[in-house]
Amino acid sequence: MFDQELNKQWIANKWANTPLGIYLGVNFKILSYNYILDPIYIDKLNKGEIKQQDLPFLMRANNNVCSQINIEWLCVK
């Protein structure tokens, strides 16, 4: 939402994404990200009750699957 290059694409294509980078006058690019799972889901993964490929769906469908998301950003000036 803060990457102005993407924001301009969204506007040009008339997509519904919110171009916050343009609205706020900031420009950040995501360099990397890492999801930290809640211990309950780590345990389920280790026991084989869920699979790694199930996680994206679970994160979209349920709350508290991830306890933390670490994002490394680059400020573009």
Fill in the DSSP letter of residue 35: E
Q: Is the pTM of this model over 0.85?
A: no
DSSP annotation of 52 reads G
- Report the C-alpha gap between 37 and 68 in whole angstroms: 7
Collapse the DSSP code of 13 into the 3-class scheme (helix H, G, I; strand E, B; otherwise coil) and give the result.
coil
Look at the chain and report how many structural domains it folds into. Answer: 1
- Average pLDDT (1-26) is 95
Sign of CA dihedral 16, 5, 25, 71: positive
pLDDT above 90 for 41 = yes
How confident is the model over 11-17, as a mean pLDDT?
95
Residue 41: domain span? 4-75
